[in-house]
Amino acid sequence: MLEVEELSIAVDGRQIIRDISFNVDIGETLVLFGPNGGGKSTLLMTIMGFPRYQVTNGRILFNGEDITRLPVDERSRRGLGILFQRPPVVRGVKMRDMVKACIGDKPNGSTVDHLAQRANMQDMLDREVNYGFSGGEVKRSELMQLIAQGPEFVLLDEPDSGVDLVNIQLVGDMINEILQRDKRRSRTHSGLIITHTGHILDYVEADRACVLLNGGIWCRGNPREILASIKSHGYEGCAVCEKK
């Protein structure tokens, strides 16, 4: 579904990622581990198409189409969605209008109030977008928007960061819904989750994992095994491991 081929990315003229390749199949969830500053967010923002992130080599294919040069909104319309780690505050615009914008003209049968109820955000619909939100509220808001939008492929940037124990289960449930993790055979939605701590894996089951370190991919395999290894040896352990 998503194919990243020999991708190199620069931000403000500085090379952040070099020649990485990976793919995510239909219905599959891939976890990308890595230390802070290792280029994980850069990769996600590039796949989504934000202009600040420049592809200097390689290409991105989505459902067989080369989307490397497509603008953000075109990628969104083709079925890509993103959970922002630190979304901007939009003063004056209400959450209700944001969710309405996400639903757009899609006949997915969801109303704003219904979605808010599921995200436990009924009281937040009349608040300004992301203004004064707690860490957990930001994630619930982002996930509510994604459910409204209904993308086939989601890019989740640190969905567990800054989320307290009360909220993490709800965040996990919402991600499972977006990724259709309750369906085994008929699952058509896929995702790429990036996580520094791996906490989210206690709530969301992923199919495969890899490690992004120093701008390259170092390890591929079972998410729980890789996480266990990172927990025992740290990311320094990945750097000296031969499984690159």
Partner 1 sequence: MRKEMKNEMKQPSETAAAQGIDVDLDAYTHVAEEHPYQEDPSRLSASDKERIREVGVTLDDRSQRSGTFLQIDQSVVHRKTDQEGVEVMGTPEALEKHPELSEYWWKLVSPEADKFTAYSHSHPFQGYFIRALPGAKASQPVQSCLYLAKHGLAQNVHNLVIVEEGAELHIITGCAVAPVKEDGLHVGISEFYVKKGAKLTFTMIHSWAPKMAVRPRTGIIVEEGAVFMNNYICLKPVRTLQTYPTARCVGDGARVRFNSVLVASHGAHMDVGSRVLLEARASAEIISRSIATGGDIIARGYLSGQVADAKGHLECRGLILGDKGNILAIPELEGTVAGVDLSHEAAVGKIAEEEIEYFMARGLSRDDAVSVIVRGFLSVDIEGLPPELSAQIEHAIELSEQDMAP
| Neighbouring residues of 177: CB distance < 8 A, sequence distance ≥ 6 | 147
Q: Which stretch binds partner 1 (CB under 8 A): 27-35, 96-104, 114-122, 177-185?
A: 96-104
Give the nearest distance from C-beta 176 to partner 1 in angstroms: 21
Q: Does 171 bind partner 1 (CB under 8 A)?
A: no
Identify the three-state secondary structure at position 98.
helix
Give the nearest distance from C-beta 87 to partner 1 in angstroms: 6
Q: Does 22 bind partner 1 (CB under 8 A)?
A: no
Q: Does 238 bind partner 1 (CB under 8 A)?
A: no
Q: Which of 32, 102, 119, 121 contacts partner 1 by CB under 8 A?
A: 102
Q: Does 70 bind partner 1 (CB under 8 A)?
A: no
Q: Does 97 bind partner 1 (CB under 8 A)?
A: yes
Identify the three-state secondary structure at position 29.
strand
Q: Does 194 bind partner 1 (CB under 8 A)?
A: no
Q: Which of 5, 11, 18, 50 contacts partner 1 by CB under 8 A?
A: 50
DSSP letter string over 35-91?
A: -TTSSHHHHHHHHHT-TTEEEEEEEEEETTEE-TT--HHHHHHTTEEEE-SSPPPEE
Q: Which two tokens stand for residue 59?
A: 């290409």
What is the Cα–Cα distance from 230 to 54, expressed in whole angstroms? 30
Smaller CB separation from partner 1, 119 or 129: 129
The values of phi and psi at residue 139, to 5°, are -65, -45
**158, 195 in Cβ contact below 8 A?**
yes
Size of the site for partner 1 (CB under 8 A): 27
Q: Does 92 bind partner 1 (CB under 8 A)?
A: yes
Give the nearest distance from C-beta 183 to partner 1 in angstroms: 24
